[in-house]
Structure 1
Amino acid sequence: MMAVRFANFSAPRPASVTRRVGRQPPTKSYPRVAKGRRSQASNLPTMLAFTFPGQGSQRPGMGRPWVGHDSWELVEEASEVVGRDLGRLLVDADADELRDTRNAQLATFVVSLMVLDAIQRLGVDASMCAGHSLGEYTALTATGALGYADGVSLVTERAAAMHDAGSANPGTMAAVLGLDDDQVGVACNLADAEVWVANYNAPGQVVIAGSVDGVASAGQHAKELGARRIMSLPVAGAFHTGFMTSARQRLRDAIENADLRDIDVPVISNVDALPHTQASDWNALLSAQLSSPVRWKHSLHTMTELGATRFAELGPGGVLSGMTKRTIEGARTISVASPDDLDPFLEWVSGTISLDTHPVEGEHLFAIERLVVSPAAGIFTPIDLAPGTPIEVGAVIGHVGDHEVRSAFAGVIEGFIAIDTERVKPRQPIAWLRTH
């Protein structure tokens, strides 16, 4: 891999995510520790990165465990900024209501920052941050580049602009599994239509977006080039493509009115996969992000080259943790989404436990799509399960050598990605489920 190129960023040094969400950190970087608690991260021999999920990670009731927690105050503050009851959205909204871009983005943003706030109250620091698509705004708010109110306002405007752009210029998205990045690009070119790569998520997982016909054509070409599965995503827009161009000026105006600030803790940009600390960088980067592919796989490699070996995903879903494990060999990951996850997180940070070897693993692909992944390397033998078969958490769907392949999710089998007698690698996707 080529050495990381730094964008307005010198050699990494220990730094801390700002103590309270959206507060501007002082010029001098020093560990910020909650009163009465010693920082659990300060003694780590390796660097910790915080990652923040994007749209598609939301789920009904994701705010319910936080009701009554001190960090719930962020929901009340955000509700005042936008003039609506976000508590109801986080507690009572169903999957269809949350799927609306205008609800999904704001809900995911607020929940992720509630998680961050709770972790900061425990005195845990990170050395760098990154977020997937929407999550980039969460990362900027987490590090103090954006104040909390500005972050809420920008996310609200971004979601509305993307929704309106999608309505004016309808499109769709699909995940291409089992094909390398270059070949997915070839498939888009062969389609000879309005379709492009939108997300470089992880090895063997690339998202394409564009017109309905263009995505269908590129998907067919991808299959001919060897893709294992093309999975349509339930979205009403071709995000991170030229279909979002009409939203860029609207968002650019909102960004110019926000108070962006220089920071100590670098945020890795989706657009160039480079670390940035200067406020002046983000006007162009956030605007470009709407119609540029998310280089998430490349961002993970950048964080690794900067020294990160532990990756904590803060917010709903667990999508990014799965991508990290598939992209970075030996990466230690954890997903924190509720107050019940805080004690295991502290133990994981201090090194007293490892959560990386859970016997039943899987990956979230989007809001209702789930992947069952291989627990080991070996020859895969499936159990005869027809598409449409409902399964429960822990159900055995096949074997890899002597290892049982169990589902980490309840849902309905949509199909197998690996074929009978195929030699698979650890964490290779085996089957595809829908949860609703």
Structure 2
Amino acid sequence: MCATSTHPEVRGEHIAVGFPGQGSQGPCMGVPWYGHRAWNLVEYAEQHLGRPLVPMLLDPAVPPNGATETQLAVVMVSMMAWSQLEQEVAPRVLAGHSLGLIPALFAAGVLTAKEAVTVASLRALVTEEACRRHPGGMAAVLMPVADAEAACAEHECWVANDNAPQQAVISGTRTGLRASMAAARRFGAADVIQLDIAGAFHSPLMKEASARFQELLQEIDFAPTRAVIVHNAVAHPPGSATDWRAVVAADLVTPVRWRETQLLLARRGLTTFIEAGYGRTLTGIAKRTLDQVRLVNASSPQAITELARTLGRPAPLVRQ
């Protein structure tokens, strides 16, 4: 007799797992995972990178700070979340928001744990240098993307993320960002929030870093994906010949089309969206974009255990 799979996907759920990006970090973000078997990933990463990671994940006095620490912290927590989550669910689709592409590639088998940590470290290296050479920042503006583009038009600032129908992120030089934030307020933004991100990601200020990153990635093995990855509203099926080196490097300068990515997930029949990692950034954005989709945060071992108990319940269909 054949055993029946306990994966919720088989019980009728159409699950997508998304991994958050830089800006989702917070103090003590690794605490829920300390002592869990997934914590081995942190210990392994410390040995591989030759640098401490535990303090910024556990100590409230030294939260992740700067481009290097925030990127490593976000990726490590997402990888720990996936290491348990993959035992409980079988998602049809994976997606990563900006930096979140790295743990998505880990989840899809494109990168091993060692390679994912290495790629995150190299990304941090080149972007930290870019932040020093081309100082800048980012801000969330609660307004349509077209209005955000208008706010940036006359300044050294660009739309970096199209996150939701009424939420964009802008990125630019310090002077350009301040001017564009002021313009966004004049143009009617419901709110303008400067983000805790040390640099102008997804803008032309990262052009040199992107080129250097692609050079460094030549030493990394990228395997064919074993799962569907939706990246910037483009679906990459299992085994596709996607040049992930080029994609990962280009991400530093390419705007994040997250609103369109979410809508594509919905068109694929999404019923449950799981945010794998720290915080509620992606589920918060999804509330502004997706109707009739169950939103779940897989931010701790306890949350994932509860998720496994509840996902089998019938979920509403996505409105097409």
2:126 counterpart residue number: 161
Partner of 1:282: 244
SS in structure 1 at match of 2:32:
helix
Q: Any conservation in 1 of the 2:16–2:92 contact (CA below 8 Å)?
A: yes
Work out whether 1:118 is the aligned partner of 2:84: yes
**Which residue of the partner structure matches residue 210 of structure 1?**
172
Task: Assess if the C-alpha contact under 8 Å between 1:52 and 1:139 holds in 2.
Answer: yes
Specify the structure having the higher radius of gyration (Cα). Answer: 1
Percent identical residues: 35
Q: Distance in 1 between matches of 2:93 and 2:126?
A: 29
Alignment of 1:34-433 (within 5 A): 38-92=5-59, 94=61, 97-122=63-88, 124-177=89-142, 179-189=143-153, 192-270=154-232, 273-277=233-237, 278-351=240-313
Cα deviations across residues 167-206 of structure 1 (Å, max 9, x unaligned)? 11101111111x21111112211xx221100111112111
What is the rounded CA distance, in whole Å, between the counterparts of 2:300 and 2:117 in structure 1? 21
**Aligned partner of residue 98 in structure 1, secondary structure:** coil
Conserved? CA contact 2:19–2:276, under 8 Å = yes
Displacement after TM superposition at 1:37 (Å): 9.4
1:40 CA displacement: 2.8
Structure 1 residue runs of 4+, over 6 Å off? none
Gaps of 5+ in 1: 1-35, 355-436
Amino acid at match of 2:31: R
Quick one: distance in 2 between partners of 1:37 and 1:343?
A: 20
C-alpha separation between the residues in 1 aligned to 2:70 and 2:86? 24
The structure where strand makes up a greater share of residues is: 1
RMSD, aligned CA: 2.0
Inter-CA distance 108–94: structure 2 relative to 1 (3 Å threshold): farther
Structure with more helix by fraction: 2
Give the conservation status (yes or no) of the 8 Å contact 2:85–2:298: no
TM-score, structure 2 normalization = 0.91
Q: How many residues are aligned here? A: 312
Partner residue in 2 for 1:383: none
Q: Secondary structure, in 3 states, of the residue corresponding to 1:308? A: coil
> TM-score, normalized by length of structure 1?
0.68
Contact 1:242 1:291 in 2 (8 A): yes
Distance 2:259 2:107 in 1: 21
Report 1 or 2 for greater relative contact order, CA contacts < 8 Å, sequence distance ≥ 6. 2
Gaps of 5+ in 2: none
- Residues 24 and 279, structure 2, Cα contact 8 Å, conserved in 1: yes
| Kept after mapping to 2: 8 A contact 1:64/1:90 | yes
Distance 1:232 1:287, change over 3 A: same
Residue 346 of structure 1, CA deviation: 1.0
Letter of the 1:183 counterpart: D
Instruction: Deviation per CA, 1:376-434: give whole Å up to 9, x if none.
Output: xxxxxxxxxxxxxxxxxxxxxxxxxxxxxxxxxxxxxxxxxxxxxxxxxxxxxxxxxxx
The one-character-per-residue Cα deviations of 1:62-87 (angstroms, maximum 9, x if unpaired) are: 22222221221111221221112323
Counterparts of 2:220 and 2:32 in 1: how far apart (Å)? 31
Cα distance in 2 for residues equivalent to 1:279 and 1:138: 19
